[in-house]
Amino acid sequence: MRWKRKSTAIMAVSFFIAILVWSQMGMYLAHLLFDVNVKVNFFKFCISLFKENSLYYFLVITFLNSLIAYAIVITCLKLTQQYVLSRRFKTRLMSLRNIVLTANIIQDFQPLNQNIIVIDHDRAMAFTVGFRRPLVVLSSGLVEMLDQEELEAVIAHEAFHQSHYDSLKIFLLQLISQSLWFIPITKWTYRNFKLISELLADEYAVQKTGSELGLGSALLKLIKKGFSDNPTPVLVYFSDGAVNYRLQQLVDPNQVIPVRLGMISIVISIHVLLLFMGMIVLAVT
């Protein structure tokens, strides 16, 4: 339950910042391009503080326009890139689908959502892909490596990501963190939501299977395989330390796992947001 609350809070913070900043950018562009009379706008207020046609006026307007242009370009680029790559990736996955193994998995484990496939691949992989209708993907290498209890735990873990649309949430948080790079807390929310989503999926898998043994054993097998083989998509995230927290939670669920924001990021983010909101208040008054 504590991870659920933290997950919700992190999402709320990131979306609040994104809506606040993106809405101000949109109003500024409406004023700039279509001469819409916008009274309450951070960017317009910043420019009004300097004498028109002065050096500082030119520098500020150049900086703000560049900031907005970057945010728009990176957002459009990432959305287009994600759309194209997702279509290609799904097509590739379907070409590798093992119909027999997929049918066996569905019959043996009877997942509530049958958007699950097994692909022919020697390496052990398990992931959830897609936004509108998330698809759980297992590799034949993973199915062969894990026993029944371990496989059930992995499927339950991925089913949680699938039912909670975690791939969509993580993509949106990544998009926010990249387009609003000047607010460091957005990068923190993206990084920590990924970790917390893994911990929540682990909690669900344990509740679903009734034991920590299956999931813990599966994690250890994947780690061992990762050390003896080239990194695979399912193991890339393990390499950044997330697996340590996941194993720690399995061993001692009551132990506190630090999910903290660095002091520098806090200071910068607070100052930027206070400046942002303060200027809006001054413009209103």
Q: What is the pLDDT of residue 42?
A: 73
Q: What is the pTM of this model?
A: 0.84
Q: Is the pLDDT of residue 78 over 90?
A: yes
Q: Cα(46)–Cα(37) distance, rounded to whole angstroms?
A: 16
Mean pLDDT along residues 234-262:
56
Q: Decide if 221 contacts 247 (C-beta within 8 A).
A: no
Neighbouring-strand partners of residue 135: 129
Count CB atoms within 10 A of the CB of residue 72.
Answer: 15
- What does DSSP assign to residue 116? E
Q: Cα(189)–Cα(184) distance, rounded to whole angstroms?
A: 9
**pLDDT tens digits for range 20-65:** 889 888 888 887 888 787 777 777 777 777 788 888 888 888 888 8
Q: Is the pLDDT of residue 282 over 60?
A: no
Q: Cα(249)–Cα(258) distance, rounded to whole angstroms?
A: 12
Q: What is the pLDDT of residue 25?
A: 87
Mean pLDDT along residues 114-118:
92
**pLDDT tens digits for range 138-189:** 999 999 999 999 999 999 999 999 999 999 999 999 999 999 998 888 998 9
Band of residue 263 on the pLDDT scale cut at 50, 70, 90: low
Q: What is the pLDDT of residue 262?
A: 59
pLDDT mean across residues, the chain: 81
Q: Cα(207)–Cα(200) distance, rounded to whole angstroms?
A: 11
Q: Cα(241)–Cα(219) distance, rounded to whole angstroms?
A: 13
Band of residue 240 on the pLDDT scale cut at 50, 70, 90: very low
